[in-house]
Amino acid sequence: MSILKDLEFRGLLHQITDREGLDKKLSEERVVLYCGFDPTADSLHIGSLLPILTLRRFQLAGHIPLALVGGGTGLIGDPSGKANERTLNGPEVVEAWSQSIKNQLSRFLDFSTDIENSAELVNNYDWLGSLNVIEFLRDVGKNFTVNYMLAKDSVDSRITKGISFTEFSYMILQSYDFLKLNETKNCSVQIGGSDQWGNITAGLELIGKSTDSRAFGVTLPLVTKSDGQKFGKTEGGAIWLDANKTSPYQFYQFWLGTADNDVIRFLKYFTFESQEEIERLEAEVAAQPGKREAQKVLAREVTKLVHGGEALESALNITSALFSGDIQSLSRVEIEEAFKDVPSTTLEQDDVALIDLLISVGASPSKRQSRQDIESGAVTVNGVKVTDLEATTKQLGRLGDSYLIIRRGKKNYFLVKFE
pLDDT (0 to 100) of residue 98: 87
> Please, is 237 exposed, middle or buried when counting C-beta atoms within 10 Å of its C-beta (0-12, 13-18, 19+)?
exposed
pLDDT digits over 77-109, tens only?
Answer: 777 666 666 677 788 888 888 888 988 998 999
pLDDT (0 to 100) of residue 293: 94
Is 174 labelled as part of a ligand binding site?
yes
Task: Walk me through the domains of the chain, giving residue ranges and CATH numbers.
Answer: 3-219 (3.40.50.620), 233-325 (1.10.240.10), 344-418 (3.10.290.10)
Q: Which of 124-133, 269-278, 329-338 has the lowest mean pLDDT?
A: 329-338
pLDDT at 37 exceeding the cut of 80: yes
Helices (H), 67-226: 91-105, 125-128, 133-139, 146-150, 153-156, 165-168, 170-185, 197-210
Is 34 labelled as part of a ligand binding site?
yes
Q: Dmax over Cα atoms in the chain, in whole Å? A: 85
Overall average pLDDT of the 13-20 stretch: 95
Q: Which of 156-160, 246-250, 288-292, 315-319 has the lowest mean pLDDT?
A: 156-160
Is 253 labelled as part of a ligand binding site?
no
pLDDT digits over 40-76, tens only?
Answer: 888 999 989 999 999 999 999 999 999 999 888 888 8
Confidence category of residue 263, pLDDT binned at 50, 70, 90? very high
Is 233 labelled as part of a ligand binding site?
yes
Amino acid code (one letter) for 225: K
Instruction: Please report, rounded to a whole number, the percentage of residues in the chain having pLDDT higher than 70.
Output: 98
pLDDT digits over 336-361, tens only?
Answer: 888 887 888 888 887 889 999 899 88
Q: Which of 141-145, 189-193, 198-202, 299-303 has the lowest mean pLDDT?
A: 141-145
User: Which of the 8 DSSP states describes residue 195?
Assistant: G
Across 326-399, the runs of DSSP E, i.e. the strands, are: 344-347, 379-381, 384-385
Instruction: Please report, rounded to a whole number, the percentage of residues in the chain having pLDDT higher than 90.
Output: 54
pLDDT (0 to 100) of residue 321: 84
